[in-house]
Structure 1
Amino acid sequence: MSGLLKDGYAVEHGLAPSTGGRRAVTYRLNKKVKSYIVAVAMDQFITRVVIYNLANEAAYPETAFPLPLQDNPEAFQQLCLAIERYITSANIKRENIVGIGIAMPGFIDVEKGVNASFLIDDDQMGLRDRLIQRLGLPIYIENDSSAIAIAELHFGAAKGLRDVMVVNMGWGIGLGMIVNGSLFRGHNGYAGEFSHIPLSHSNKLCSCGKRGCMEVDASLLVAVENAKRAIAEGTTSSLQQLFAVPTKPEGDHLIDAARKGDQLAITALSDAAFMMGKGIATLIHIMNPERIVLSGRGAATGKLLLPPVQRAINEFCIPKLVEHTSVVVSVLGYEAELLGAASLIIENSKPHQLMKIYSQGKSHIVPS
């Protein structure tokens, strides 16, 4: 802590309430320090960027732009150009940027900085090193679901807990695992491929090339396709007009319609959530977690997800295990991935005390 105080990153913030004995000194991050983090959150279609100060406050407004990753040989160049333009528009000096944290889908080897699924190049240089070479700043990359789990651990519904499964409901279904209070990545960093558990009763082909994966019945993409099919068969819904307006991704239109009470949207999401709950029941049997957190893009539906997920858990899970596992919807919502991306920089570039203060969210107060 003395090093952080000396460098100006932390300042004393009075004394903690007395619990008997000497009162602990508390600290907060020094908001006057001109240090910033660029956080990048990517999915298969949309990329979002924001610059945070060390107090988790947006120092420049978030922006989003379309960036398809599948079958897009220009994706790397498009990503770099977008980040460069955003930093330039923010008018923040590069020497004041601590680094860039990027959360993205795919198989991420965190140690080597390689994404084995997207933005693959023919040369031997990993994605992280290519980005560092191009952008000239420290960069760390992480799987999107793992980044969301990091955010939930530091700022959200997993804070203070040791064994938590964080389900990322998005275009696919991802999983971040908190085991013994830390992110669990598995043997080579690929743990959490939750969506490819073979639970589907259909014979649909999954994006992974296999059949029967849970993802073919339990994702926003599938929910959208099911809603479109129902509309084509004559079901009346506000989605018919919303899907015709390309102002936002169709999955977001589906979520918005469900929150406004559209019956077809609610049914499509509920069907997907039930299948997701069936998979969560499997997780509970294997991991015996203290909590399941429903996070990611789908968390914007709020408590609409909970009844079908809980119904599936009750149906497929041993009651004794259900009694000791709570299921909650994230309060971080769509910001979780960005906060997780920002956390990568703090975790890797400064002493653990800074991470401890940083993870206090808006209070910035920790005991000495």
Structure 2
Amino acid sequence: MKKNAYKRIIVKNVYFKKAVSCAELSLQIEKSLPVATQLLLSLVDEGIVEETGYAKSTGGRKPVLFALKPDILYVVAVAMDQFVTRIAIMNMQNEFVGTVIKLELPLSNNKNALNILVEKVEELVENSGILRSKFAGAGIGMPGFIDVKRGLNHSYLFSEGKSIAEYIKEKLKIPVFIDNDSSIMALAELKFGSGFNTKSAMVVNVGWGIGLGIILNSELYRGINGFAGEFSHVPLSSNDKLCVCGKSGCLETEASLLVVVEKAMEGVRNGQVTKLKELNVDDIEQACNDIIKAAQEGDQFAIEILSYSGFKIGMGIALLIHLLNPEFVILTGRGAAAGKILLTPLQQAINEYCIPSLSEYTSIKISELGADAELIGAAALVMENYDSESGGNAVKIKKHERENILN
């Protein structure tokens, strides 16, 4: 393997570990300590890696720790849902560089959505003043049925059957990676959040749908072509409401935040006693935030709606516990902001529907990454593929383009 290839492996490993010693790196890249030290020190000489202090001693001299310089590389991180998209530039310490762009971008039946997305990403990159050669790539999390191998979204972002990653790469001139929003939230939890160092976890994305990211054997499980985790469409409902997938009985039709907002609006129209006097149907994000805020302030109607959603999600999680026996279930996404209001009925459902000898080994947590989980996951998606010429739906980049940074 060429020296530059090992450099890429080191950059990737140091990014995810944040700080490593020579001994740790030697184990990670499976090279002798002298070789790992030589490679690491060469990156120090090139201004890519820097000493950051000492690790805790286990006896003897404390090992020196090394970390990436924050501004040596950048990534474009894009977090999309069905209505709102956020775009950010992040450095190697997962810090935002400049302003995070937020735009209303409805995806359903919107043939211009992909072009609008590319235009906004290009605008952010151009205005940043950062050289294209300093971007490791762009990571994009999006809802829908994502074929990560072919770079397609079968639900949204009309691309005439062509790879979305290919299309965006041609416009931006940097590597591009796409994945399902819930999968990259799970990747964020695995690398930087509550799922760090865990063997198995289910990351439940409570949003306009109910997504799922699966961590098995300390790795993200995406399925044969990236469709794993379609929790929204597990048939757990007895209603006859048609889901967006074309089926009926889906969990999404009773538990999603879209349903929460619909129920709240219906209640307000029917004169329900509540603090929620007005909910703007044209600003669904704000309406959702208002419902969660009202519930946190003790509004009984808002609490009832969210509690029902939490209970239904808990029924689904009981099924996951029976099937996969995970160490953790981590709640993330917009709904996670409701905290205990969602968590309490969710736990109640698990108590009712799950065999105690199984559920007692699974802890339920609220994500510590908060609203930035998807952006962090999008950045991690880029760096996960940094040491490969092509990964998943990544577009192959000319050799001289990829090596400009580390030569």
Query: What TM-score comes out, normalization by structure 2 length?
Result: 0.82
Which residues in structure 2 correspond to 1:7-156 (within 5 Å)? Answer: 7-21=46-60, 23-31=62-70, 33-122=71-160, 124-156=161-193
1:233-280: CA deviation from partner (whole Å, max 9, x where unpaired): 221223222437849442222223223332222211111111000000
Q: Which amino acid aligns with 1:81?
A: E
Who is 2:207 aligned against? Answer: 170
Distance 2:130 2:194 in 1: 32
Q: How many residues of Structure 1 are paired with residues of Structure 2 in the alignment?
A: 349
| Structure 1 residue identity aligned to 2:177 | Y
**Deviation, structure 1 residue 7:** 4.4
- The answer to which of 129-138 and 17-26 deviates more is 17-26
Unmatched 5+ stretches in structure 1: 352-368
Code of the aligned partner of 1:61: T
CA root-mean-square deviation: 1.8
Contact 2:90–2:97 (Cα < 8 Å) also in 1: yes
1:179 aligns with 2:203: no
Separation (CA, whole Å) in 2 of partners of 1:299 and 1:247:
17
Deviates more, 1:327-336 or 1:168-177: 327-336
Relative to the length of structure 1, the TM-score reads 0.90
User: Residue 283 of structure 1 corresponds to which residue in structure 2?
Assistant: 320
Deviation at 1:160, TM superposition (A): 1.4
Alignment partner for residue 361 of structure 2, among 300, 320, 324?
A: 324
- Any conservation in 2 of the 1:243–1:253 contact (CA below 8 Å)? no
When residues 7 and 316 of structure 1 are mapped into structure 2, their CA distance, relative to the original with a 3 A threshold, is: farther
Equivalent residue letter for 1:205: L
| Structure 1 residue 125: Cα displacement | 2.6
Shift, 1:220, TM fit: 0.2
1:364 corresponding residue in structure 2 = none
Q: What 5-or-longer segments of structure 2 have no aligned partner?
A: 1-9, 11-38, 389-407
Residue 303 of structure 2 aligns to a residue in which SS? helix
Q: Quote the Cα distance in structure 2 between the aligned partners of 1:205 and 1:84.
A: 38
Q: Which amino acid aligns with 1:294?
A: L
Kept in 2, the 8 Å contact 1:152–1:159? The answer is yes
8 Å contact from structure 1 (residues 168, 294) kept in 2? yes
Q: Conserved in 1, the CA contact under 8 Å of 2:200 and 2:217?
A: yes
Q: Alignment partner of 2:89: what SS?
A: strand
Relative to its length, the structure with more strand (as a share) is 1
Deviates more, 1:172-181 or 1:62-71: 62-71
1:111 CA displacement? 2.3
Give the residue type in structure 2 aligned to 1:24.
Answer: P
- SS of corresponding position for 2:385: helix
Q: Once the 2 structures are TM-superposed, how far is the Cα of residue 222 of structure 1 from its aligned partner?
A: 0.5
Q: Is the 8 A contact 2:281 2:287 kept in 1?
A: no
CA–CA distance in 2 between the matches of 1:245 and 1:213?
Answer: 25
CA contact (8 A) 1:197 1:214 kept: yes
Deviation at 1:229, TM superposition (A): 1.8
Hey, what's the Cα distance between the residues in 2 that align with 1:301 and 1:6? Answer: 48
Identity %: 48
Q: Give secondary structure in 1 for the equivalent of 2:198.
A: coil
**Matched residue SS, 1:241:** coil
Shift of 1:163: 0.4
The one-character-per-residue Cα deviations of 1:149-175 (angstroms, maximum 9, x if unpaired) are 001111111111110000000000000
The equivalences for 1:229-248 within 5 A come to 229-243=266-280, 246=283, 248=285
In structure 2, C-alpha distance between the alignment counterparts of 1:37 and 1:304, rounded to whole Å: 35
Contact kept? 2:261, 2:284, Cα under 8 Å? no
Residue 240 of structure 1 aligns to a residue whose secondary structure is: coil
State whether residues 220 and 298 of structure 1, in contact with CA within 8 Å, keep that contact through their aligned partners in structure 2.
Answer: yes
Q: Any conservation in 1 of the 2:113–2:158 contact (CA below 8 Å)?
A: no
**1:69-122 Cα distance to aligned partner (Å, 9 max, x none):** 110011111111111222233333323222111000111122222222211322
> What's 1:221 paired with?
258
Show CA shifts across 1:297-347 (max 9, x none).
Answer: 111112221101000000000000111000011111110000000111111
Secondary structure of 2:272's partner?
coil
In the alignment, structure 1 residue 269 sits paired with structure 2 residue 328: no
SS in 1 for 2:215: strand
Bigger Rg, structure 1 or 2:
2
